[in-house]
Structure 1
Amino acid sequence: MTLKSPAALDTEVIVTGVPHSARRRQLRRTAESYAFLSPTIILLLVLMIIPIVMVIGYSLQDKAIIGKNHEFVGLDNYVSVLTNPNFWNATSNTVIFTVVSVAAHLVLGLGFALMLNNTLIGTVPRAIFRGLYVLPWLFTVAVIAVLWRMLLAPNGVINFLLNTDIEWLASPQLALGTITFINIWAGYPFFMVSLLAGLQGIPSDLYEAATVDGASPVQRFWNVTVPQLRPIIISLVLLDLIWTSQQFALIWMTTGGGPINVTEVLSTFTYKLAFAKYDFSQAATSAVLVLLMSMVLAVFYVRHQKARD
């Protein structure tokens, strides 16, 4: 038998004990991390995961919520909604409303950001313009809807200035364009503020080098400004596509989806199925379809963010 010295025994105890203590410390840190995250996880579970699962379940049933006998019908509700002409009308209006709004948000936001970033404008005028241009972003949707309904009324300020009596929100030809314009006015400050921050983060050395190489202002914009802002622009566009495609309050409080469904979008279509026709099964089906469309955009946004990181 080989005898070990006391020093050797102490060394062996320390060496063999380190992994166990390190493992305990790691488990303690992990438990603490999940303990801090647990309130958020519980809220997400109660307020998002469980409702989504319930809505998916309702979409597979007949007479969901209000009926006593909930019959499982599989995909029949999806077939019914997808063959409903009103659903495709709402989808078409949503696409037009969203694409035009996002494109205008980008153009206006970038234009105002470039103007406010210009050194030719003094400090005081620049501060005044920033306050004025960001003002629409400070209003709530309810205030915006009431404000524009008053301005666009037949006896409102807009018709008085134009010397007309146009029914802007009641005309089948003008209603969709009118609410799109209101949404553009309300949403461009988000792009303006974000792009202005991005412009101020572009190194001046890039512009100086481009100027030395003989680049014109237009060439500097396309070859320096736009490439530097591209990650921000892509993120803003994807986020705005998700938000605008789900716009409900502004449309509901201005036109309610009318007249004759010309401003009906997917959010108002789903709302009417649930709370006007009390067909919660098809309303849940429409909500699930909207969720799937939004998830496609969300996947692109997450992939872009990972690639950017």
Structure 2
Amino acid sequence: MSAPTIPAPTAPSPARPGRPAGAAPGRRRTSLGRRLAPYGYLAPVAVLMLVLMILPVAVVIRYSFFDNVIISPTSVLVGLRNYVQILTDPLFRTATRNTAVFTGVSVLAHLVLGLGFAMLLNSPLLGRRTKTVFRTIFVMPWLLTVAIIAILWRLLLDPNGVVNFGLQSVGLIDGPVAWFSELNLALPAVTVMNIWAGYPFFMVSLLAGLQGISADLYEAAAVDGASWWRRFFHVTLPSLRPIIISMALLDVIWTSQQFPLIWMTTGGGPLERTEMLSTYTYKLAFSEYQFAQASASAVIMLLVALVLAVFYVRHQRARD
């Protein structure tokens, strides 16, 4: 009787190159789907940014190097001629000067008022209910839209408005003043209006920073005999410096591009006394139909904003 034969074990088939042994096609597809899932979630936002931001900016940059754009079927390449015309335009220099004054005064006043009100709301001398009332009053301008703010201040500064009535009552002025029509008062008037509308943003941010400062620092300074001013300059300001720099850079970018508040009150007048870069660019495009020159002006504003944005990002990275 012969012994039963045992079949020899079959050797496993070699794995295909590029696929680990035992990996199934379904599992590979699942792994690929997991890797692509985040890009699928980002795709709608990427498409919106491409259509609403990147493409319009690219079109405006292209327009700035041509002439007879939009209104003519044939455009002519002129290179940097539009930029030269804009930079040598006296009205552009006037708008740049007005924008610099308007932005500088507004940002400085936003910082001073915001820090002052934030310290008031952070003071232990005020009760909780009093702080709640003041916080509601101080933050009120931030809750209003630009259109409402413009209408409100036009009514307040009207020759027959509340401001003129109050100043006449105390004897500071002899007659009604047209604040938005006077050559020497129009720019200060819109600047005050912008200051009132923007200081709550500084106040809220600085209040959060003040509440994050440890009380031990103030106690240690008080033990060393430091006065209130020394504690403010050597404890409060150094602790708030990163927030102040970040807020100031953002406010410069936003304020330098302020358009609706100016347009709905003075429109850049009287006699270009409140002409800003934003209103200057708008008038070039939609009043004079100089779309190529308006595109060049818009690109110049974009470059200035990009420089400020670079400083802001570098500061944020250094802060982190």
Normalised to the residue count of structure 1, the TM-score between the two structures is: 0.92
Rounded Cα–Cα distance in structure 2 between residues aligned with 1:252 and 1:228: 38
Rounded Cα–Cα distance in structure 1 between residues aligned with 2:195 and 2:149: 12
Give, as a single letter, the amino acid of the residue that structure 2 aligns with 1:79: V
Q: Which one has the largest radius of gyration? A: 2
Q: Which residue of structure 2 aligns with residue 152 of structure 1?
A: 157
Give, as a single letter, the amino acid of the residue that structure 2 aligns with 1:86: L
Q: Which residue of structure 1 aligns with residue 179 of structure 2?
A: 168
Q: Which residue of structure 2 aligns with residue 143 of structure 1?
A: 148
Task: Flag the 1:209–1:297 CA change in 2: closer, same or farther, 3 A.
Answer: same
Rounded Cα–Cα distance in structure 2 between residues aligned with 1:82 and 1:22: 62
Q: Which residue of structure 1 aligns with residue 247 of structure 2?
A: 236
Q: State which of 173, 184, 189 in structure 1 corresponds to 2:200.
A: 189
Q: State which of 94, 97, 112 in structure 2 corresponds to 1:92.
A: 97
Rounded Cα–Cα distance in structure 1 between residues aligned with 2:244 and 2:149: 26
Rounded Cα–Cα distance in structure 2 between residues aligned with 1:175 and 1:30: 58
Matched, 1:272 2:283: yes
The 5 Å alignment of 1:1-309 reads: 28-163=33-168, 164-309=175-320
Instruction: Please list the CA deviations of residues 244-279 of structure 1 after superposition, one character each: whole Å capped at 9, or x if unmatched.
Output: 000000000000000000000000000000000011
Rounded Cα–Cα distance in structure 1 between residues aligned with 2:95 and 2:55: 27
Structure 2 counterpart SS, 1:191: helix
Give, as a single letter, the amino acid of the residue that structure 1 aligns with 2:104: V
Task: Flag the 1:24–1:206 CA change in 2: closer, same or farther, 3 A.
Answer: farther
Instruction: Please list the CA deviations of residues 202-256 of structure 1 after superposition, one character each: whole Å capped at 9, or x if unmatched.
Output: 1111111111122111111111111111111111001100000000000000000
Structure 2 spans left out of the alignment, 5+ residues: 1-10, 169-174
Rounded Cα–Cα distance in structure 2 between residues aligned with 1:208 and 1:304: 30
Structure 1 counterpart SS, 2:183: coil
Rounded Cα–Cα distance in structure 1 between residues aligned with 2:258 and 2:83: 22
Task: Flag the 1:76–1:125 CA change in 2: closer, same or farther, 3 A.
Answer: same
More displaced 10-residue stretch of structure 1: 26-35 or 48-57: 26-35
Post-superposition shift, 1:126?
1.1
Normalised to the residue count of structure 2, the TM-score between the two structures is: 0.89
Question: Which structure dedicates a bigger proportion of its chain to helix?
Answer: 1
Rounded Cα–Cα distance in structure 2 between residues aligned with 1:26 and 1:115: 56
Post-superposition shift, 1:30?
3.7
User: What is the aligned-residue RMSD (CA, Å)?
Assistant: 2.3
Q: Which residue of structure 2 aligns with residue 3 of structure 1?
A: none
Give, as a single letter, the amino acid of the residue that structure 2 aligns with 1:144: I
Rounded Cα–Cα distance in structure 2 between residues aligned with 1:26 and 1:55: 42
Rounded Cα–Cα distance in structure 1 between residues aligned with 2:35 and 2:229: 53
Rounded Cα–Cα distance in structure 1 between residues aligned with 2:232 and 2:66: 55
Instruction: Please list the CA deviations of residues 266-297 of structure 1 after superposition, one character each: whole Å capped at 9, or x if unmatched.
Output: 00000000000011000111000000010010
Rounded Cα–Cα distance in structure 2 between residues aligned with 1:17 and 1:110: 66
Give, as a single letter, the amino acid of the residue that structure 1 aligns with 2:51: V
Task: Determine what percentage of the aligned residue pairs are the same residue.
Answer: 60
Rounded Cα–Cα distance in structure 1 between residues aligned with 2:41 and 2:263: 39
Task: Flag the 1:232–1:22 CA change in 2: closer, same or farther, 3 A.
Answer: farther
Post-superposition shift, 1:123?
1.2
Post-superposition shift, 1:15?
8.3
* Structure 1 segments of 4+ aligned residues over 6 angstroms from their partners: 14-18, 20-26
